[in-house]
Amino acid sequence: MTTISTIKLGIPGDIIRLSRIGLGTVPMSVVYGAVDDDESVKTLNHAIDIGCTFWDTADTYDLGHDERLLFRVLKKRRKEVFLCTKFGLTARERKSGDGGNFIDYINGINGKPDYVRQAAEDSLEHLGIDYIDLYCIHRVDPTTPIEETVAAMAELVKEGKVRFVGLSKVTPDQIRRVHKIEYSAWSTHVKADGVLDTCRELGITVVVYSPLGHGVLAGNIRNIDDLDKDDWRRTSSPFRPVNFENNLKLIDSFESMVKKYNRKPEQLALAWLLAQYDNMIAIPRTKRSKYLEEDVVVGQIKLSDDELQELRKLVDIASIQGARY
């Protein structure tokens, strides 16, 4: 059995060890095509069995379905999981017969204190738990001072409903003002914008979503037609034909290193990522046990200095096109 590398997270009196490879559960809620709840439950249980116990979800993932799905496992294995859920994105009601996935229903951002509390209470109910390990702002509300949002989150910590709080898609200035984040070879804005340096300076743990570039860095997607017809990525900016053709150049560069060093693409992507900062957790997204197991295994691989330097050059040269969602 693979031994998963871990890092420490917490504050004096509440220090825990977490797996550096976690699990992003959003593919279990339609966004990457058809889903099978029973298969997802098997994947969740398997994740615990192999030590992949940092899970990331959000209240908007299929409008609460994702959280309710996790309840099927948490009701028996709550103490074995470190759970992160997010709030802040609001969505219109989905009526019977409506199609599409949850992204089609998102209609705003809300970080007002009253909403923070209500969202937390709703998530606790969906998940069937009495506390959330890590509660994150999904997006910062531009109409509400971030200090007010975080103050409301801090009240939840005082009440024992939340253990730790986190921020997503923030600037270095916002981090400092209140003293999770997409990052990969596919999306390096966190480094370019100074967020990673700020977190390193302040000793803040960074949780990285989409470390495999929404699956592209695993080398399995070479054409948009490789995706299900209702897969959200078909409408995502980096996957539009004019952008995707350019973005495949990075994948081609990875392929040259795959042959040179006898590595798999996902090995290079995850190992390079985790080498950027010791206090980092990556949460690859999947709904299938076999991919989860592969991610956990490759997350333990260490690259040589030569490999890391060569990858750094490839990533710096590449210019990924298309806005993030």
Would you state the pLDDT for residue 217?
Answer: 76
Domain borders along the chain are 17-317
Kindly report the CA angle at 168 between 297 and 242, in degrees rounded to 5?
75
Distance CA 284, CA 50 (A): 15
Residues in the chain, how many?
325
Considering the entire predicted model, what is its pTM?
0.78
How many CB atoms lie under 10 A from the CB of residue 57?
23
With vertex at residue 273, the alpha carbon angle to CA 217 and CA 140, rounded to the nearest 5 degrees, is 90
Q: What is the pLDDT of residue 325?
A: 52
User: CA 108 to CA 86: how far, in whole Å?
Assistant: 14
Tokens of 255: 């392929």
pLDDT of residue 185: 52
Q: Are 160 and 124 in contact (CB under 8 A)?
A: no
Identify the DSSP state of 46. H
Q: What is the mean pLDDT of each run of 10 residues along the chain (325 residues)?
A: 76 81 88 83 96 94 91 97 96 67 80 97 98 96 94 93 92 84 54 82 87 76 78 77 76 78 80 87 84 76 84 74 59
Contact 138, 168 (CB under 8 A): yes
pLDDT recorded at residue 216: 76
- DSSP-based three-state secondary structure for 227: coil
DSSP structure string for 107-167: EEE---HHHHHHHHHHHHHHHT-S-EEEEEESS--TTS-HHHHHHHHHHHHHTTSEEEEEE
- Candidates 32, 61, 277, 291; catalytic one: 61
Which positions ≥6 away from 35 have C-beta within 8 Å? 27, 28, 29, 287
Q: Tell me: domain 17-317, CATH 3.40.50.2300, correct?
A: no
Residues facing residue 80 across a β-bridge: none
* 61 is an active site residue: yes
Question: What is the structure's pLDDT at 182?
Answer: 46
What does the pLDDT read at residue 186? 46
